[in-house]
Amino acid sequence: MDLSRNRKPDRISPAGKLRFICAPGSLYSKPPEGTLATVEQALCDFAWLSLRDGIEPQSLATFRNLHTLSRRRLDQVLRRYPENVQDSASRIMRAGHRRRADRR
């Protein structure tokens, strides 16, 4: 089945309904050939997709090991995203740091 010809955003598959979403060029930063997006970019993309659908990202997932993210890289990636994504990422990071401090 040649999916490149089918431009419908929603498709039914044996695994269920799939939705294909393309981020606008102003947000999307293609990783270098043969690599994956950084975890910082993945967090921002997840927040953007969730908020775009009117859902707070923290209501969909539990975020762990946030201390491993580079704050410098995160801030650099966040510059491309709307303010609501920047705010959401900041809330996620603050909540992660609070949970880590509570465990000490």
Query: How does pLDDT run across 11-56, given as a tens digit for each residue?
Result: 788 888 877 777 777 777 777 777 888 899 999 999 999 999 999 9
Which tokens go with 87? 């705010």
pLDDT at residue 87, as a whole number: 97
Nearest-10 Cα torsion for 33, 20, 96, 64: -70
HSE at residue 4, side-chain half, CA atoms within 13 A, is 0
Query: What count of other Cβ atoms lies within 10 Å of the Cβ of residue 87?
Result: 14
Query: Does the global pTM surpass 0.85?
Result: no
If you ran DSSP here, which 8-state letter would residue 81 be given?
A: S
The pLDDT tens digits of the residues spanning 11-22 come to 788 888 877 777
What's the whole-number mean pLDDT along residues 83-100?
Answer: 87
Strand ranges in 1-104 using DSSP code E only, listed in sequence order: 10-13, 16-19
Place of tokens 């762990």: 64
> Mean pLDDT across the stretch 70-80?
94
In this prediction, residue 103 carries a pLDDT of 64
